[in-house]
Each structure stands twice: as structure tokens, then as C-alpha cells.
Amino acid sequence: MGKIMIQGTGSSVGKSIIVTALCRIFKQDGYSVAPFKSQNMSLNSYITLDGKEMGRAQVLQAYACGLEPEVYMNPILLKPTSDKKSQIILNGEVYGNASALEYHNMKTKFGDMLKEHFSNLESKFDIVVMEGAGSPAEINLRDRDIVNMGMAEIADAPVVLVGDIDKGGVFASLAGTMLLLRDDERKRVRGTIINKFRGDIEILKPGLSMLEDIIKVPCMGVVPYFNLKLEDEDGAISFNSKCTAKPIDIAVIKLPHISNFTDFDAFKQEDDVSVRFVSSEDELGRPDILIIPGSKNTIDDLIKLRECGLEDSIKEYSKNGILIGICGGYQMMGTSIKDPYEVESSTLYTYGMGLLNVDTVLEKDKVTSRVKGESKNCMDGNSEVYGYEIHMGSSKYGKGSKSLFSINSKNGEKVSMEDGAVNDKNNIMGTYIHGVFDGINFRQYILNKVRKSKGMCTRKSKNYENFRDKELDKLADIVRNNIDMDIIYDIVSGK
């Protein structure tokens, strides 16, 4: 039937969430629909059923479409390893590391590949909903653009421009973006959407009319500010936002290179649980559960924890509190980390926290796999767990170490492997499994462990996938009720 591309006046204006909403609306209306973002930059990634890596934003969009995520929805993923370098994931596999300039110079190589991916999508689905990145008005990048107007040209796609009114200056940002586009690019822009509005729409309406007169493009709707329990946009998580205190307090260490912070989204549906991110001793307090998350630069992040005093606080907390490490966090909790090939940084070795008797070596080959398994040394009853692995290292057990989980399936193939580690008191645990809290069993076990210790009644956890699906329907209702879907369908169909 057609296609539509959502671009924005800048980062974090709501492109991802508008694409997600449109994907769900089109699905509700009976169309087969797929998301597409040619290039994503994020430390939040996901592993597909065939063991390929892609950005999390397109994963949520795939779920909105009722699809299993696949890498053709996000062929290029950039994962920053430092302020100046990123790991390039091409079609789900590691392509190499590059500086910003090196990557800018190689982008022209990927045009034919992106065109082929998009053509395949068009042939399989009624509608393709595309997403840009940052802003199309980044004129210094225009000559080699493959994600905004450059991708719109490859796909010959109409564009809708999104602006964020909550930041202020939305009229200037929309008009300024249009001003900096070339004539042929401006012709692609069929409408605008104003996002994150709070207040009286009647006061805003005169400005909408004036904006339309200035840029000669209609405003298709104003989406109100809302708070749904869906994944945060890549790179836009509000780590410092205040959360309502609840009986169970979970603190997550905000690492400088934190990755896969979506690992904790499943806790959002627990009525008695709040999650907060901390980056200093003063913020830490005395949480019921402390989590060290994944990292794209494990050694450097551990050294930062050491320098700011958080490592000592974590070690003191671990004497009686529940401490969990995920992937890089798990590696930090061991006795040592070696990086002989300088996979993540130029630091070849550092000693770990010494909380679990495991030693880690970072290796050249990346492990990317979907896994299933069961608890080995901590959970009672149904102990099935699932999730995905994304890591460059392998950890070896020292004398007396106990594994946390037993893995019996990797990418659909039967295996027999050990994962993670747990101490004798069962209060310090580490695992390589991202998304381990998405499943009911481990999340319920950990939370009920806290509830019992606080004299609270135990609870049954809910299915996160069902919860997420209901939130997607709420999102679709909000957007459908506040933008002109007739115009959207006209754009999609090429009218």
C-alpha cells in the first residue's frame, strides 16, 4: 500500500514513540506493517531468534506490529565505546570499530544494502513505517546521510516532521528545520506533529495556524504529554527523574557506559516496586535490591566506580543486601577482568570487586544468543528463565564457585552450559542473561525474597509481554485520538 517516514527536529523529540504508535494503529486497522530504521545509535540492543543484534527501539516497534524482531528492521547499529568511537553492528553482526570520521567516510558503502532491505520490506508488507535519527537539518552530515533525507530519497518516502513542545521553542525548531532543508527535501515533508503538549490546546491553535503559513505544511495533530510504562527512547532515558517511593526500592548503578537499561522495565508493572538510577554514594541509600547493569566498557566503568567511592559502598551493601550483576556488572563482581586484545579499552587488566569467585577475559568474538535455562542454586518451584546474551568476554569459575543458572537452549539448539554465579548466602548473584527479569519466575523469586524479609505478603508476578501489549494499545489510542489519521493514510497511499 505505501510507506511513511517520521523524522524529528532533534534527538529525543518522540520519533520512536510516534513510529511505535503508528505501527500499532495500522496493525489494529488490519494492515501488515513493519518498522524500519536504517541506522540507530544506542547501547540498548537485543538478540533476535537467529542470534543477530539490533536496536531495542525497533524491537518495541516490531512488537507493536505483532512481529518477531528481525535485523532487517535495523540494519546498522552503532554502539558507542567512548566519546569518539563506536562498535558498528552491520546486519546483526560486528563489522568493526570506528571513529565518527571513519564511519562518516564509510557510510556510502551501505546505500545499496539499505535499498535492498527496504525493497524487500515493501514487497512483504502493506505499510512500512520508517524512522529517522537526530535531525535532517544536520547540514554538516547531509552529503553522506543514510538515515534521514538520504534514506527518504533511497526509499522515495514521504516525511512527517515531529517537534517536541515540552522542550520549548517548538515553532522555531520546526521552522528552522524546514529552512535548512533543500528545496527537494522540503517537498518530501507532508506534515508536522507536535509532541508532548501540556496545557490548553485553544491557546496553542493560533500558533499552529501561523506556523502553517510560514512553512506551508499542515500540522496533523498535537499529541499530549503522557506517561506509559513502555521502554524509554534510545539514549533518552531520564536517569535523574524522580520516581514515587514504593515499599520495595530497587537501585540501579548508573554506569558511564550503561547498556541495556531496558533490563529493568519489567519491574514497572509491579505495584509495590520502584526503580531508581544512582551515580554516587549519597544517592545510594539502603535499597532493598541493588543492581549493577551491563556496560559497553566494563573495565573503565569499574575504575570509575572505584574512583568515586561507589565500589566500597557496593561491597559494604553486599554483606547483607541483595546484589545482582547483569553482564558487565557480573564481570565487575568477579576477582579480575582482563582485556588482552583491547576490545573495550586500552586498560589490559584490573582486579574485580571480589564478591564472586570468577575471572573474566574479554575476547575478540562477540557472544550473541537467545537462551533458555533454569535456576540451579537459588529458586524453588518453577525455575525456568530466558533472555539473551550480548558480551565479548567469558568467565571461568574459581574454586568453590556455584553457577546461578543452567542453560539448556541457545538460539534454539540444545546445549548444556553453566551461567552466572551465586554466593553461599544466596544474596550476591551475577548472570550474563539480559532480560532475565522479563520472565515471571526469577523476578517473582527476587521480589518475594524481599517481601518475606520485610514482613510483606508474597505476590505472583504478571506476564510482562501481556502488560507491554496493553500499554501499546493505550499508546495507539492516545495518538489516534490526537492526530488526523485520514491525512496519515493519504500520505501513506501517496495522495
Please list the active-site residues.
327, 434
Sign of CA dihedral 112, 114, 120, 122: negative
Q: Beta strands 248-253 and 258-259: pairing type?
A: unpaired
Residue 402 carries which DSSP code?
B
Q: How far apart are CA 323 and CA 293, in angstroms?
A: 11
CA dihedral of residues 215, 216, 219, 220 (deg, nearest 10): -140
Q: Which helix or strand (DSSP H or E) is residue 314 part of?
A: helix 310-317
Q: How far apart are CA 230 and CA 266, in angstroms?
A: 9
In sequence order, the 6+-apart residues with CB closer than 8 A to the CB of 106 are 98
C-alpha 203 chain-centroid distance? 35
Quote the cell numbers at residue 288: 532493598
Helix and strand totals (H; E) in the chain: 15, 26
Nearest to 371 by CA among 278, 318, 296, 439: 439
Residues 323-345 as b/e (b if ≥16 CB within 10 A, e otherwise) read bbbbbbbbbbbbbebbbeeebbb
In sequence order, the 6+-apart residues with CB closer than 8 A to the CB of 356 are 325, 330, 333, 334, 335, 401, 421, 422, 423, 428, 430
Q: How far apart are CA 433 and CA 442, in angstroms?
A: 12
Backbone angles phi, psi at 439, to 5 degrees: -70, 150
Interior angle at CA 55, CA 186 and CA 151, nearest 5:
25
Q: How far apart are CA 463 and CA 443, in angstroms?
A: 11
Are 301 and 328 in contact by the 8 Å Cβ rule? The answer is: yes
